[in-house]
Structure 1
Amino acid sequence: MYLEAQKLNRRITIQRKVGGQDSLGQPVETWVDVCKLWSHIKTINGSGFINQEFHDGGKELSRTTASFRVRIRKGITADMRVLHQGQVYEIRVVLPDLQDNRYMDLGCAIGANQG
């Protein structure tokens, strides 16, 4: 699918988790920025990614999925996350655009995650 440049109209930040130590030598994990990209965002309905409601410890939780289409960028993997307007999206899958190899889709979930 050809995507016009003006549809890449949402700024997102890709982050990755890094390990380190605190001042007492205890292990800590933090998220650091990898890059900022322009994207086209779609909420996904249907098979594969679905909106889910489930229970955890007596609380009802909700998870919604979305796709962020960005220009191809090497190094983005499913163990990273997307930040958009203060929301944390867990990257679940990175899908290449097989038609013209210019874009990639980041299949993400938000809600009920550890971010």
Structure 2
Amino acid sequence: MYARNLRHRIAFQEQSSTTNAFNEKIDSWNDVFETWASIQTISGKEQYLSNQNYSTLSHKIRVRYSVLIDSKQRILFNNRVFKILSVLNIFEKNQELEILCEEVL
């Protein structure tokens, strides 16, 4: 993996839950860490359900290996949110991760 290919600054976020004064559950997303990545759009899809149009884009995001990354997190890039579908350790070498994501528009 060449550093020149990692030109997008992304943040990995984890979901946390707290309760307010009325004992209601409040979910929020907190940054775990930021890193450089390459983002490649794989495919797009549009659906029309219940009189509403839904668009989704599939992406492949590559980053340097980190033990902090798992599929329960999400990725934030320039106010765009990516849901992590899978995390692949390329050739099991612990050098590079390929993350398959979905962006709902």
What TM-score do you get using the length of structure 2 for normalisation?
0.91
Structure 1 segment 11-90 matched on structure 2, within 5 A: 11-45=9-43, 51-90=44-83
3-state SS of the aligned residue for 2:66? coil
Instruction: Show the counterpart of 1:109.
Output: 102
SS of aligned partner of 1:61: strand
CA-based RMSD of the aligned residues comes to: 1.4
Which stretches in structure 2 are left out of the alignment for 5+ residues?
Answer: none
Q: CA deviation at 1:75?
A: 2.8
Q: Distance in 2 between matches of 1:70 and 1:84?
A: 13
Alpha-carbon separation, structure 2, partners of 1:65 and 1:23: 39
> What one-letter code is carried by the residue in structure 2 that aligns with 1:67?
K
Which structure features the higher share of strand residues?
2
Question: Equivalents in 2 of 1:13, 1:66: separation in Å?
Answer: 15
How many pairs were matched up? 105
Instruction: Tell me the percent identity.
Output: 25
Extract unaligned runs of 5+ from structure 1: 46-50
